[in-house]
Amino acid sequence: MNPPSPSISSDAVLRVRSQSLRSKNLIAAATDKISLAIGEPDFDTPQVVIDAQIQAIKSGYTHYSPQEGRGELVNAILQAAVGVAGNGFSSENILVTHGGSAGLTATILGLINPGDVVLLEDPTYSLYLDGINLAGGSVKRFARNEAGELDFNAIDNDAKGAKLIVLCHPSNPTGAIISPAEWASFADIVKRHGLVILCDEAYEGLTYDNAFVSALDVPGLREHLIVSRTFSKKYAMTGWRLGYLVGESQLIASASTAHRTFNGSINSANQFAGATALLKAGDDAEKMRRVFQTRRDLMESCLREIPNIQFRRSDGAFYFWLRYPDHLGTSLDVAAKAAQAGVMVRRGEEFGSTGKHALRLSYATDERSIKEGVARLARLLA
């Protein structure tokens, strides 16, 4: 008998591959294609941030930085992002990460053992599922009803024996934010069952109807909380690969151990850029937020013209989540047909099974593309 041939991929990688919901953008066949599939701001990084990085390189900051992050950035996070007065955070509560992605995956790998249960919303950003599969954890999903409400009795039931709840606030893909009353219910559940909340605040600051309330400001949650943020969205810095975690110190220490195994320390000069973004690019970020708000309003009014679809107003991030009648086919089919018709969108199934007949539309693009893209989609969904 031949000895079994060793697999070229680990079980962890095979688990991620077989269960991942992530998909590449479909390539549109039409020449005049419009993308409403974009997951990043279409703005340039603010000049003051670029200048800070160039200056840092010229000043010789070209060496390794401390694993947990340079003091300049950690202090800026403590000052600007979590507020310094009376919140009790110190550098032990911060980890600078290789973008939001690495912070999220490091948190999951630092916390989850094979077999541990993690609660995830459906739909939600697909990276969490990949991280959970990498760790060997299992998932229970919860969903909002048609009115956008969460069933906290069901969540409470599923939370028994679970270890972690991952929340995306504001949400990719729905644009929903978690309300103060919902936060109170989550805080009650995690305290009673001894769970941890990982709150992904990648779109922190990008809210349009209500001021952004961070999970960090929810009373009673602090001991159970780790928050992941990134410079990618608010400061239009997707290519810089810079983010950070803020949270309970033991959770940060575990995430740090996982993070350093696959990232090492973070680009030194970029950390000066990050500190400058937090301390000096607030006005630039606010200008971008206002443009997103105008585009959100425009996309909403265009979508209201389409009969038979269901959607809720996007409160944050830069996405609308729309459901269309089941008979039109799966989101894979509809997204493929949309690509043929010259408009690219993300298929809903990428974010969970509730997205089988749903699409995610991004308004991180210009007004002409929003109008024409939605018009093309309207013809398809009619």
Ligand X SMILES: Cc1ncc(COP(=O)(O)O)c(C=O)c1O
Q: How far is CA 133 from CA 16, 114, 138, 177, 360, in A?
A: 5, 9, 7, 26, 24
Shortest distance (Å) from residue 200 CB to ligand X: 5
Shortest distance (Å) from residue 38 CB to ligand X: 10
Shortest distance (Å) from residue 319 CB to ligand X: 9
In whole angstroms, give the CA distance from residue 338 to residue 46: 34
Shortest distance (Å) from residue 172 CB to ligand X: 4
Closer residue to ligand X (CB): 232 or 314: 232
Closer residue to ligand X (CB): 119 or 381: 119
Instruction: Answer for the pair 345, 335: CB distance below 8 angstroms, yes or no.
Output: yes
Q: Residue 334 CA to chain centroid, in angstroms?
A: 24
Shortest distance (Å) from residue 99 CB to ligand X: 3
Closer residue to ligand X (CB): 36 or 341: 36
CA angle 46, 246, 125 (to 5 degrees): 75
Instruction: Answer for the pair 285, 233: CB distance below 8 angstroms, yes or no.
Output: no
Instruction: Answer for the pair 101, 255: CB distance below 8 angstroms, yes or no.
Output: no
Instruction: Answer for the pair 95, 69: CB distance below 8 angstroms, yes or no.
Output: yes
Selection from 200, 170, 204 nearest residue 316 by Cα: 170
Instruction: Answer for the pair 233, 256: CB distance below 8 angstroms, yes or no.
Output: no
Whether omega for the bond prior to residue 123 falls within 30 degrees of 0, making it cis, is yes
Binding residues for ligand X (CB under 6 A)? 39, 99-101, 125, 168, 172, 200, 202, 230, 232, 238, 243
In whole angstroms, give the CA distance from residue 69 to residue 91: 9
Shortest distance (Å) from residue 121 CB to ligand X: 11
Instruction: Answer for the pair 341, 229: CB distance below 8 angstroms, yes or no.
Output: no
Closer residue to ligand X (CB): 34 or 202: 202
Selection from 187, 208, 189 nearest residue 316 by Cα: 208
Closer residue to ligand X (CB): 306 or 361: 361
Shortest distance (Å) from residue 346 CB to ligand X: 11
Closer residue to ligand X (CB): 172 or 331: 172
Shortest distance (Å) from residue 56 CB to ligand X: 20
Closer residue to ligand X (CB): 319 or 342: 319
Closer residue to ligand X (CB): 72 or 350: 350
Q: Residue 191 CA to chain centroid, in angstroms?
A: 24
Closer residue to ligand X (CB): 24 or 368: 24
DSSP for 258-273, written as a single string: HHHHHH-S--HHHHHH
Instruction: Answer for the pair 98, 243: CB distance below 8 angstroms, yes or no.
Output: yes
- The tokens of 234 are what? 């608010």
Shortest distance (Å) from residue 241 CB to ligand X: 7
Instruction: Answer for the pair 225, 215: CB distance below 8 angstroms, yes or no.
Output: yes
Shortest distance (Å) from residue 232 CB to ligand X: 4
Closer residue to ligand X (CB): 172 or 270: 172
- The tokens of 201 are what? 């605040």
